């Protein structure tokens, strides 16, 4: 069993997160409960700051906020001088509400709606990662109406296969994201932007995929991007002044995972771009990175109460908990693996092979596929580790299960950041209208 954050420990017969006893959190807030270690989150933001933002000239780390988006995270992020990646007007609206500087928001997405583009531009968001030709037209039209300038990076497909599961690969040739480099398609897009009146071309954007452990994939992608920069200059006479190298940095969910160091990836990225630009006698472009999971993934621990326990002779023991695929879709969707403990049996032998099941009416509703635990009983508290990224942000109300609360812990204290949904919340959007 591995706790993937220094901010959580097993001691005094319990689990402590930022020195807060998990059993006290259960008593205070109930289960299922998403616990986020603010200690861990701040530590990771500090890494982005000291090991990238402060280390190099003309760089900007972005937090990919789709991994965990709520008012509190944007407030904390803004303290570190970094930017954020938002993928919808909804995310932008929360960031703005939290007081985030609109000029440090980068708007991503493969199908930004006209209404979203309008919302972003109206609210002074001026950095767009442009994905397709339709979007160029929309931005030009809407930016002209507002008479504002939009600064564009163009997402180009590097044709590299990387990422923890087929569903989270984005840089291969057959992808819905970005402009293909085939037949000069991306060059046409850049020319169209250069010819526009309210979009200023700044550079190119690369994101190969998520939960990536392969350094070579980042290296190959950056070599390809340097070649794109050469091609853009040679064919169009346009200089690439900004390269966004994307995110995707894998984290450890179990002891089998071997994540790369943040600085190992970023120094390769910086060196390759520098060498490539030096060869042409060009000034170094601005470089951005945009990890999400790396910041919040290992900060999260989900606490569940155990209910039914079923032994299927010669097969396995099913331990059902009070949540499921509604608060953790990753196991069903990506076959994701997790570690965890029974908190109140933290010191007992892990001698039972258990499948942790959710309470949703789906066979795919598995929280942890296979884990060795002490024999479970109803009322035990199961802690699932590394649930900070893409858990709360991908949660749903399937089976009309209210979403769990999110609690932050920091320096021996806890606070409620998102309250638990109530049954009234489940019908908050139902209206009873007569036919008209």
Ligand X SMILES: Cc1ncc(COP(=O)(O)O)c(C=O)c1O
Annotated binding-site residue numbers for pyridoxal 5'-phosphate = 248, 290-293, 390
Asked if 285 is part of the footprint of ligand X (rule: CB under 6 A), the reply reads no
Q: How many CB atoms lie within 10 A of CB 176?
A: 9
The option from ligand LYS, ligand X, none interacting with 300 (CB < 5 to 8 A, set by class) reads: none
Q: Helix, strand, or coil here: 211?
A: coil
N-terminal to C-terminal alpha carbon distance within the chain: 60
Asked if 210 is part of the footprint of ligand LYS (rule: CB under 6 A), the reply reads yes
- Name the DSSP letter for residue 359: S
Binding to ligand X (CB under 6 A) within 43-82 occurs at 64, 67
Question: Going residue by residue from 159 to 178, which x/- string records binding to ligand X, judged by CB under 6 A?
Answer: -----------x--------
Question: Going residue by residue from 144 to 173, which x/- string records binding to ligand LYS, judged by CB under 6 A?
Answer: ------------------------x-----
Closer to ligand LYS by Cβ: residue 87 or 383: 87
In this chain, which stretch among 143-151, 246-254, 269-277, 278-286 interacts with ligand X, using CB under 6 A?
Answer: 246-254
Cβ neighbors of 117 (< 8 A, separation 6 or more) are 135, 138, 139, 142
The option from ligand X, ligand LYS, none interacting with 330 (CB < 5 to 8 A, set by class) reads: ligand LYS
Question: Could you give the CA distance from residue 289 to residue 263 in angstroms, rounded to a whole number?
Answer: 12
The option from ligand LYS, ligand X, none interacting with 224 (CB < 5 to 8 A, set by class) reads: none
Picking from 10, 67, 72, the residue whose alpha carbon sits closest to that of residue 42 is: 72
Tokens (6 digits) for 225: 């991007």
The nearest distance, CB 235 to ligand LYS, in angstroms, is 30
Are 177 and 137 contacting, i.e. CB atoms less than 8 angstroms apart? no
The residue at minimum Cβ distance from ligand LYS is: 390
The residue at minimum Cβ distance from ligand X is: 292
Q: For residue 106, give the H/E element and its range.
A: strand 105-107
Question: Could you give the CA distance from residue 332 to residue 388 in angstroms, rounded to a whole number?
Answer: 17
Number of residues that bind ligand X (CB under 6 A): 18
Are 242 and 288 contacting, i.e. CB atoms less than 8 angstroms apart? yes
The nearest distance, CB 207 to ligand X, in angstroms, is 4
Q: What is the DSSP code string of 363-415?
A: TT-EEEEEEEESPP-TT-EEEEES--SSSGGG---GGGPPPPEEEEEETTEEE
Closer to ligand LYS by Cβ: residue 276 or 340: 340
In this chain, which stretch among 99-107, 285-293, 358-366, 408-416 interacts with ligand X, using CB under 6 A?
Answer: 285-293
Question: Could you give the CA distance from residue 216 to residue 250 in angstroms, rounded to a whole number?
Answer: 14
The nearest distance, CB 296 to ligand X, in angstroms, is 8
The option from ligand LYS, ligand X, none interacting with 52 (CB < 5 to 8 A, set by class) reads: none
Q: For residue 251, give the H/E element and its range.
A: none
Asked if 68 is part of the footprint of ligand LYS (rule: CB under 6 A), the reply reads no
Asked if 158 is part of the footprint of ligand X (rule: CB under 6 A), the reply reads no
Binding to ligand LYS (CB under 6 A) within 298-337 occurs at 330, 334
Are 226 and 276 contacting, i.e. CB atoms less than 8 angstroms apart? yes
Picking from 294, 321, 324, the residue whose alpha carbon sits closest to that of residue 310 is: 321
Active site residue 361: yes
Percentages helix, strand, coil for the chain, rounded to the nearest 5?
A: 35, 25, 40
The nearest distance, CB 151 to ligand X, in angstroms, is 17
Q: How many CB atoms lie within 10 A of CB 64?
A: 27
Asked if 66 is part of the footprint of ligand LYS (rule: CB under 6 A), the reply reads yes
What are the residues facing 382 on neighbouring strands?
A: 304, 342
Out of 40, 127, 224, 293, name the contact with ligand X by CB under 6 A.
293
Please give the positions annotated as active site: 361
Contact positions toward ligand LYS, by CB under 6 A?
66, 168, 210-211, 330, 334, 390
Contact positions toward ligand X, by CB under 6 A?
64, 67, 85, 108, 170, 207, 210-211, 246-249, 290-294, 389
């Amino acid at each position: 069993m591995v706790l993937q954050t220094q901010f959580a420990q097993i001691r005094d017969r319990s689990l402590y997160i930022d020195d807060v006893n998990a059993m006290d959190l259960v008593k205070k807030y109930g289960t299922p409960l998403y616990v986020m270690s603010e200690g861990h989150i701040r530590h990771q933001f500090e890494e982005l700051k000291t090991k990238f933002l402060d280390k190099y000239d003309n760089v900007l780390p972005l937090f990919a906020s789709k991994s965990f988006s709520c008012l509190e995270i944007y407030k904390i992020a803004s303290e570190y001088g970094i930017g954020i990646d938002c993928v919808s007007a909804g995310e932008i609206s929360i960031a703005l509400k939290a007081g985030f500087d609109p000029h440090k928001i980068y708007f991503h997405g493969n199908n930004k709606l006209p209404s979203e583009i309008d919302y972003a531009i109206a609210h002074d968001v001026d950095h767009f990662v442009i994905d397709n030709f339709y979007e160029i037209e929309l931005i030009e039209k809407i930016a002209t109406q507002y008479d504002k300038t939009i600064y564009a990076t163009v997402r180009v497909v590097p044709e590299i296969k990387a990422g923890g599961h087929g569903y989270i690969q984005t840089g291969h040739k057959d992808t819905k994201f970005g402009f293909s480099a085939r037949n000069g398609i991306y060059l046409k897009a850049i020319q169209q932007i250069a010819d526009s009146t309210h979009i200023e071309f700044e550079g190119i954007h690369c994101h190969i995929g998520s939960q990536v452990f392969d350094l070579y994939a980042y290296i190959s992608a950056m070599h390809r991007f340097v070649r794109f920069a050469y091609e853009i200059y040679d064919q169009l006479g346009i200089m690439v002044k900004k390269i966004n190298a994307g995110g995707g940095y894998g984290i450890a969910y179990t002891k089998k995972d071997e994540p790369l160091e943040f600085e190992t990836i970023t120094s390769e990225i910086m060196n390759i771009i520098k060498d490539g630009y030096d060869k042409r006698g060009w000034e170094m472009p601005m470089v951005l990175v945009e990890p999400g999971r790396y910041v919040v993934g290992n900060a999260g621990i989900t606490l569940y109460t155990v209910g039914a326990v079923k032994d299927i002779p010669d097969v396995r023991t099913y331990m059902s908990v009070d949540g499921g695929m509604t608060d953790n879709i990753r196991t069903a969707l990506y076959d994701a693996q997790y570690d965890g403990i029974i908190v109140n049996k933290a010191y007992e032998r892990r001698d039972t092979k258990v499948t942790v099941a959710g309470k949703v009416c789906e066979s795919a509703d598995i929280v942890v596929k296979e884990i060795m635990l002490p024999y479970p009983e109803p009322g035990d508290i199961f802690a699932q580790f590394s649930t900070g990224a893409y858990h709360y942000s991908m949660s749903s109300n399937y089976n009309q299960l209210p979403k769990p609360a999110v609690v932050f812990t920091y320096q021996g204290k806890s606070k409620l950041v998102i309250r638990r949904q109530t049954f009234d919340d489940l019908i908050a959007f139902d209206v009873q209208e007569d036919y008209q």
